[in-house]
Amino acid sequence: MAAPAVPCYLGWDFSTQQLKVIAIDEQLRVIYEDNIHFDKDLPEFRTHCGVYVHNDKLTVTSPVLMWVKALDMILEKMKSSGFNFSHVRAFSGAGQQHGSVYWKEGASQILKNLSPDLPLHQLLKACFSVSDSPVWMDSSTASQCLSLEKAVGGAQHLANITGSRACERFTGNQIAKIYSQNPEVYAQTERISLVSSFAASLFLSAYAPIDYCDGSGMNLLQICDKLWSTACLNACAPGLEEKLGHTVPSSSVLGSVSPYFIQRYGFSPDCKVVAFTGDNPASLAGMKLEEGDIAISLGTSDTLFLWIQEPTPALEGHIFCNPVDSQAYMALLCFKNGSLMRERIRDDCASGSWDEFSKALKCTVVGNNGNLGFYFDVIEITPEAVGIHRFNRDDNKVPNFPKEVEIRALIEGQFMAKRIHAEKLGYKIMPRTRILATGGASCNKEILQVLSDVFSAPVYTIDTANSACLGCAYRAIHGLVAETSVSLADVVKLAPEPRLVVTPTAGADQLYQPLLKRYAELEQKVVYCPISFHL
Ligand SMILES: O=C(CO)[C@@H](O)[C@H](O)CF
Q: Per residue in 342-381, pLDDT tens? A: 999 999 999 999 999 999 999 999 999 999 999 999 999 9
Which among 280, 297, 319, 382 is the best mutation to test ligand 1's pocket, defined by most ligand atoms within 8 Å of the CB?
Answer: 280
CA 336 to ligand 1 centroid distance, Å: 8
Q: Per residue in 176-211, pLDDT tens? A: 999 999 999 999 999 999 999 999 999 999 999 999
Residue 535: the pLDDT is: 38
Which among 165, 196, 279 is the best mutation to test ligand 1's pocket, defined by most ligand atoms within 8 Å of the CB?
Answer: 279
Residue 342: the pLDDT is: 98
Which among 14, 61, 303, 316 is the best mutation to test ligand 1's pocket, defined by most ligand atoms within 8 Å of the CB?
Answer: 303
Residue 53: the pLDDT is: 97
Nearest-CA neighbor of 207 among 159, 242, 179, 167? Answer: 242
Residue nearest ligand 1's atom 8 by CA: 97
Dihedral sign for Cα 118, 124, 126, 130, please: negative
Residue nearest ligand 1's atom 6 by CA: 301
Nearest-CA neighbor of 132 among 188, 74, 174? Answer: 174
Residue nearest ligand 1's atom 10 by CA: 96
Ligand 1: nearest atom to the Cα of 301:
6
Residue nearest ligand 1's atom 4 by CA: 334
Q: Per residue in 302-316, pLDDT tens? A: 999 999 999 999 999
Q: What contacts 466, CB < 8 A, 6 or more positions away? A: 13, 20, 22, 33, 286
CA 301 to ligand 1 centroid distance, Å: 6
Which among 60, 96, 173, 337 is the best mutation to test ligand 1's pocket, defined by most ligand atoms within 8 Å of the CB?
Answer: 96
Whether residue 504 is preceded by a cis peptide bond, meaning omega within 30 degrees of 0, is: no
CA 75 to ligand 1 centroid distance, Å: 25
Ligand 1: nearest atom to the Cα of 332:
4
Residue 533: the pLDDT is: 44
Ligand 1: nearest atom to the Cα of 169:
1
Give the separation between CA 453 and CA 450, rounded to whole angstroms.
5
Which DSSP string corresponds to 146-186? HHHHHHHT-HHHHHHHHSSS--TTSHHHHHHHHHHH-HHHH
Residues touching ligand 1 (Cβ under 6 Å) are: 15-16, 96-98, 136, 169, 278-280, 301, 303, 332, 334
Residues in the chain predicted with pLDDT less than 50, given as ranges, are 530-535
Residue nearest ligand 1's atom 9 by CA: 96
Residue 464: the pLDDT is: 83
Give the separation between CA 189 and CA 184, rounded to whole angstroms.
9
Question: How far is C-alpha 444 from the geometric centre of its chain's CA atoms?
Answer: 20
ipTM score here?
0.99
CA 233 to ligand 1 centroid distance, Å: 22
> CA angle at residue 73 from 71 to 75, to 5 degrees?
70
Residue 529: the pLDDT is: 58
Ligand 1: nearest atom to the Cα of 95:
10
pTM: 0.95
